[in-house]
Structure 1
Amino acid sequence: MLAAGVHGFILAFGLILPLGVQNVFVFNQGSMHKQYSRVLPVILTASISDTVLITLAVLGISVMVLKVTWLSTLLLSAGILFLIYMGYLTWSSRPTDVTAETVAFSPKKQITFAASVSLLNPHAIMDTIGVIGTSSMNYAGPAKFTFAVACILTSWIWFFVLAYVGRQVGRLGELNSFHMILNKISALIMWGTAIYLLLTF
């Protein structure tokens, strides 16, 4: 079960690390609000949304492909190719000023926007169904549960930390440099995860 937990943590961390729309919104709200507690609506909404997607992926994908070998192979192959491609895009992307035209949203707007960019985001769905869901097929019983919990906890921890880091980095005025480093680390993790999935194919 320990291996499943470590796998879940590394996989979820590699997928969630890139600064997409969801992460940028959490990061921005953290940098704009004067009090950290006022960012809780967006943090909790993003975390709960990811929990729903991960749970559906782990439960649903296993039922769907349990006895369909070709479908399992297809989804795993798609997940590996997706990670390699996203790693390339992340590595080669250039930082932009994400704080431009950013405002501190009210709790209601935080919840609405965070839910929309989480649950209606094609990349988020691909991450959960195409990668986390298919990766969970390597486990059963307690190991599968541990894998899912590790992925979910990683998501929760990430959003709390991201909002906090956004506030701290925003004060320093070094957002672009921070994004560049974050993207490089993210790309390396995604490529490493692709290799791991290929070896356990």
Structure 2
Amino acid sequence: VMMAGGFLFLLYMGWVTWNSRPKENQTEKNRFTAKKQAAFAAAVSLLNPHAILDTIGVIGTSSLQYSGLEKWLFMAGCIAVSWIWFISLAIAGRLFQSIDTSGRLMLIVNKCSAVVMWAAAGYFGALLFSN
């Protein structure tokens, strides 16, 4: 069920990303409020079957080899890396926005992202339908 959910999720997100059109010189009025942006990020993170599989299947099973203090340090390391990664993405997004005022470069990035999502969906689909 999780594999099928991940397959459908990636197909849909690829389609949405492929069809998204960045706006030129987006004004402050057109941007999400902080509350809407946080709600969107939480929904995408919590409803993403691939992220759930990674959390349980990769991080969860990797943590089984640790006990006591080592398990707490592993948890702290996972949290720190996650925060560093997402803060870095936010900073990179802000810098990218200031560099690409026309939106053309973002359009190319969106197309490449959609292709990567569809490739991952294809991989999930091949695994799902080969059994």
Please classify the TM superposition score into its range, dividing by the shorter chain length: 0.5 to 0.7
Root-mean-square deviation (CA, aligned residues, Å) is 3.6
State the Cα distance separating 1:163 from its structure 2 match: 1.9
CA distance in 2 between partners of 1:168 and 1:176 (Å): 13
For the pair 1:145 / 2:76, whether they are aligned, the reply is yes
- Unaligned segments of structure 2, at least 5 residues: 64-70, 125-131
Q: Cα gap change, 1:88/1:172 in structure 2, threshold over 3 Å: closer, same or farther?
A: closer
Residue matched to 1:162: 93
CA distance in 2 between partners of 1:118 and 1:91 (Å): 17
Per-residue Cα deviation, 1:161-200 (whole angstroms, up to 9, x for no partner):
11211222224634322311122234446777x6xxxxxx
Residue matched to 2:9: 86
Residue matched to 2:108: 177
Contact 1:90 1:186 in 2 (8 A): yes
Per-residue Cα deviation, 1:101-157 (whole angstroms, up to 9, x for no partner):
94225xxx74333233234x2x32223873454233213213343333323322111
Residue matched to 2:47: 126
Residue type of the partner of 1:85? L
Give the fraction of aligned pairs with identical amino acids, expressed as a percent. 1
CA distance in 1 between partners of 2:120 and 2:85 (Å): 14
* Higher alpha-carbon Rg: 2
Name the count of aligned residue pairs. 113
| TM-score normalised by L of structure 1 | 0.42
The within-5 A match list for 1:18-167 is 78=2, 80-93=3-16, 94-99=18-23, 102-105=26-29, 110-119=33-42, 121=43, 123-127=44-48, 130-135=52-57, 136-140=59-63, 141=71, 142-167=73-98
CA distance in 1 between partners of 2:38 and 2:28 (Å): 17
Residue type of the partner of 2:22? V
Contact 1:83 1:190 in 2 (8 A): yes
| TM-score normalised by L of structure 2 | 0.58
CA distance in 1 between partners of 2:102 and 2:25 (Å): 17
